[in-house]
Amino acid sequence: MQIPYETTARPDTGLYNAKLGIWLFLASEVMLFGGLFSAYVFLRLGADDGYWPMGLLNVPIGTMNTAILIASSVTVVLAWAALKMRQWAKYKFYMLITIICGIIFLAVKLTLEWPEKFVHFGAFIKKDKWAEYEAYLGNEHRTKLGLSPRPEISGHLHAVEVAVAPEKKGDFDSFLIKHHLVAEAGTDPAHPVLVVKDDHGHGPRPSIAEKLVRIPGVKAVAYEVELDAVNADPTSPDNDRPHFIPRKRSDKVATIKAEDISSWSAFAPKHSSYFAVYFTITGLHGLHVLGGVIIFIYFYLFGEKLYRKNPEHMANRVEVSGLFWHFVDLVWIFVFPIFYLL
């Protein structure tokens, strides 16, 4: 039995079944992402001064990914138009470009953007200790300019200073061996500590450092941090604003006492509400991109049989998947300025 309006539009609505279905689905998607963006707005408005991160994302990479997605929206339309004109070879060409663009977008996200955040270190200093770290925070300078305070010191972990109970030395040594870490005696005999680094002389990853200080009998004493430029020279006018081009980490190392830190972590979801919403929205968006790429690959590899049987039906399928892809692109058009530019 032929299902009515499968390839031809209803005369009263001008829609065929699949197009009506995708619009209903996209309406639910609007409510989903609308709720997430609304949560972002409320969390940002409710954040204390200085505690909402700014300028931490790589704007050039985000700009490149935006251009890639916009280009893919154009090529998927060209692929659909080629089917309407019954030009199968052109359809394959444009659909392949769309697939490649989607894969590049995901590859950039998973190799250049997300991994770097999970190895970066940020420590929020207790408010009553800000004066002791004025050389790295520059809050007196910011107050004179009427800017929000800077409560965080960030960079890469250079080392973790710990005190180890003698009876727990075996567990501590086993942990070091398992994670390819070494511990050296500190240089201050008045305060004996062990300085933990990896085999190459760098600090452990933040996730490993978290496990280290959770070992019973191991107490964090201080964290040595290779400072970001903003903390290495906080009074520089150049550091009063975010930068389009990411700045390199400095060679300056700061020692932050563990007792002076209110919280610390990598730039992971638990770092702040900002990164919690960032990873939620960009992760969900990435899943949508992955889903669209899978659908396009299916049409690219297995669509010819349907095209030979009913080319209009095939064109309709590509049109519907293209509408989904345009929505994914539209979501990113909101994500990019909200997270990367504002």
The answer as to whether 60 is a domain residue is: yes
Do 130 and 241 fall within a single domain?
yes
Do 132 and 215 fall within a single domain?
yes
First and final CA of the chain: distance in angstroms? 55
Do 44 and 79 fall within a single domain?
yes
User: How far is residue 8's CA from residue 146's CA, in Å, rounded to a whole number?
Assistant: 63
Do 199 and 302 fall within a single domain?
no
Give the count of domains, the chain.
2
- Which pLDDT value is given to residue 13? 66
Q: If pLDDT is split at 50, 70 and 90, which confidence band does 203 have?
A: confident
- 53-77 per-position pLDDT tens digit: 888 899 999 999 999 999 999 999 9
Do 260 and 142 fall within a single domain?
yes
- Which residues lie closer than 8 Å to 173 by C-beta, 6 or more apart? none
Q: If pLDDT is split at 50, 70 and 90, which confidence band does 181 have?
A: very high
Do 153 and 199 fall within a single domain?
yes
Copy the structure tokens of residue 334.
Answer: 């909101």
User: How far is residue 191's CA from residue 184's CA, in Å, rounded to a whole number?
Assistant: 14
Do 129 and 261 fall within a single domain?
yes
- Which pLDDT value is given to residue 71? 97
Better-predicted residue by pLDDT, 66 or 248: 66
Better-predicted residue by pLDDT, 15 or 82: 82
The answer as to whether 307 is a domain residue is: yes
Last residue of a domain, one of 231, 265, 299: 265
Q: Where are the beta strands (DSSP E) in the chain?
A: 121-125, 152-164, 181-185, 194-198, 218-227, 253-257, 261-266
Q: Which of 134, 131, 66 is nearest to 104 (CA)?
A: 66
Given a cut of 50, is residue 1 above it in pLDDT?
A: no
Do 25 and 58 fall within a single domain?
yes
Phi (first) and psi of residue 10, to 5 degrees: -65, 140
Last residue of a domain, one of 265, 297, 326: 265
The residue-averaged pLDDT of 183-189 equals 80
Do 140 and 235 fall within a single domain?
yes
- 304-324 per-position pLDDT tens digit: 999 999 999 899 999 999 999
At 280, which CATH number?
1.20.120.80
- 81-104 per-position pLDDT tens digit: 999 999 999 999 999 999 999 999
Do 161 and 82 fall within a single domain?
no
The answer as to whether 135 is a domain residue is: yes
The answer as to whether 303 is a domain residue is: yes
Lowest mean pLDDT among 63-72, 79-88, 121-130, 183-192: 183-192
Given a cut of 80, is residue 189 above it in pLDDT?
A: no
- Which pLDDT value is given to residue 289? 98
Q: If pLDDT is split at 50, 70 and 90, which confidence band does 9 have?
A: low
Copy the structure tokens of residue 333.
Answer: 């058009």
Give the DSSP per-residue string, 259-275: GGEEEEEESSGGG-HHH
The answer as to whether 27 is a domain residue is: yes
Do 93 and 139 fall within a single domain?
no
User: How far is residue 26's CA from residue 323's CA, in Å, rounded to a whole number?
Assistant: 9
The answer as to whether 296 is a domain residue is: yes
Q: Which of 331, 267, 319 is nearest to 295 (CA)?
A: 319
The answer as to whether 3 is a domain residue is: no
Last residue of a domain, one of 265, 299, 319: 265
- 208-234 per-position pLDDT tens digit: 999 999 999 999 999 999 999 999 999
The answer as to whether 8 is a domain residue is: no
Tell me what percent of the residues of the chain surpass a pLDDT of 70: 94
Range of the domain at 95: 17-118+274-341
Do 132 and 218 fall within a single domain?
yes
